[in-house]
Amino acid sequence: MHPAESTPIPAPAAPVPSVGRSILQAFKGAHHDYTTAPLQRAVILLAVPMVMEMLMESLFAIADVFWVSHLGKEAVAAVGLTESLMTLIYAIAIGLSIASAAVVARRIGERDPTAASEAAGQTIVLGTVIAALIGLGMGSCSSGLLAALGAEPAVIAQCGIFTRIMLGGNITVFLIFLINSIFRGAGDPVFSMRTLWLANGLNIALAPCFIFGLGPFPRLGIAGAAVATNLGRGTGIVYQLWHLAGGRSRITVRLRNLRPDLAVMRSLLRLAGNGMAQFMISMTSWLGLFKILALFGSSTLAGYTISARIVVSALMPAWGLSNAAATLVGQNLGAREPARAEESVRIAVRSNLVFLGSIGLIFLVGAPGIIRIFTADPVVYSNGVTALRIVSLGFPLFACGMCYQAAFNGAGDTWTPTRLNFYFQWLMQVPLAWTLSRGLGLGPLGVYIAVPVSFAGLALSGGVLFKRGGWKTKQV
């Protein structure tokens, strides 16, 4: 036989699905191996449901403040101050979520779903206990906490019940964060997307009913916004647990996974500690900004609250892209593919730059029309427009910084972003805001300027540390 005749003909390479087909597959939620799939496609498969998940969270944030704004500036100020308090809860929940997602992703990359399920179960147990303790502690002293933040007596008297319900019922926010992080780490972001679309869809539908007493619903005023939030997110948690227990996700949580395992809990808490500190620093820096702005009155605080909600609505879809990078980093490091992990972050950074840069330009030009939707008060309107324009200037830097931080967290290197947040948000942002607003007499304008300046330093430093590559060797 001729030598050429015995040479096997290589099979043709499987065609790479188009972008459109990849997007459709992302919505279907089919399981994929993100350690071998083409990276551009892997980013799309993970990012699309994560972006849509965060988009619904953004829509809820806007809808919530839209309805509450009809109750007056005191109600809007109360929402802003309550969100400041809730950020402490978010910080703890996100810190534990970072640990859970990193461990689950690493175990999936190592082809060990049993260990991934165990980590998921212990995360749920820890989250339930922590949320219950926070609810009892903070819920019982909500009025005092509002006063400590500088809330005016009228705000506390009219809107204190909103704060009490939100803090006391924080377990719905806490668990929805944690379980969605488990889905993302496992590479099942479609379940996270569906959860928030269900939960926040109910929030949006129920909020005006409970606030204004539409149809058979009682008129609860601002308290109705809190009731709608907890009912909607509580329903979302039931949906999450149904998927986890029913074997529909890549991992399945059984009752045996919920029995306390101190060794696993200690491992999660050790990793979560830096994550909690990282976001505690970040979130409490916003508390500092609100405290400074409260010195200029409720109108200033209300204007900034509206602009902050709009900014968050734009940043949340961008966090979806960042979360996709975090999952790919964790799974590919577990599969011993650090080069793929690094390239996935670069793809996410480029995509985020285009997205947030475009949104920032829209906000810069359209701020007057956007803020006018939410308020007719001239002082609230003026502060909202100024804040939105100045903060949106930093969107390109936000895009890079959030991707680098997500990469560190996905690798389990939670210490690096913790240090960066401490340096640039506490040691820079809050003192700079005070100096510009009070020391140099710029007023609220000085607070607005401090936000993009501090994030510029954080993003540039994150990029330098990412290139050094120490995160690739982190063990989880």
pLDDT digits (tens, 9 = 90+) for 124-177: 999 999 999 999 988 888 888 888 877 778 778 777 888 899 999 899 988 998
Evaluate whether 81 touches 159 at the Cβ level (below 8 Å): no
Q: Give the contacts of 443 (CB within 8 A, at least 6 positions apart).
A: 296, 437
3-state secondary structure 203-223: HHHHHHHHHHCCCCCCCCCHH
For residue 201, give the nearest of 52, 356, 19 by alpha carbon.
52
CA distance readout (Å), 114 to 34, 259, 345: 18, 15, 28
Per the rule left: phi > 0, alpha: psi between -120 and 50, beta: everything else, 111 is left
Give the C-alpha separation, 85 to 412, whole Å.
Answer: 27
CA angle (213, 214, 215) in 5-degree steps:
115
User: Are 404 and 466 spatial neighbours (Cβ–Cβ below 8 Å)?
Assistant: yes
Residues 6+ apart with CB under 8 A from 6: none
Burial class (CB in 10 A: 0-12, 13-18, 19+), 147: middle
Q: List the chain pLDDT tens, one digit each, 476 residues.
A: 444 444 444 444 445 555 556 556 555 666 677 888 888 888 888 888 887 777 777 677 677 778 888 888 778 777 878 877 887 788 788 888 888 999 999 999 998 988 999 999 999 999 999 999 999 988 888 888 888 877 778 778 777 888 899 999 899 988 998 999 999 899 888 898 899 889 988 988 999 999 999 989 999 988 898 899 899 999 999 999 999 988 777 888 998 999 988 888 888 888 888 888 887 787 778 778 888 988 888 888 888 888 887 888 788 788 888 888 899 999 999 989 999 999 999 999 999 999 999 999 999 999 999 999 888 888 899 999 999 999 999 999 889 999 999 999 999 898 899 999 999 988 999 999 999 999 898 999 999 999 999 989 999 999 999 999 989 988 77
CB-based contacts of 462, cutoff 8 Å, min separation 6: 400, 401, 404, 405, 408, 416, 417, 420
pLDDT tens digits, 413-471: 988 999 999 999 889 999 999 999 998 989 999 999 999 999 899 999 999 999 999 89
Q: In the chain, where are the structural domains located?
A: 45-473
Q: Is the pTM of this model over 0.75?
A: yes
Dist CA 301 CA 77 (whole Å): 6
Burial of 1: CB neighbours in 10 Å, binned 0-12, 13-18, 19+: exposed
Output the pLDDT for position 122.
Answer: 93
d(CA 148, CA 153): 11
317: left (phi over 0), alpha (psi -120 to 50) or beta: alpha
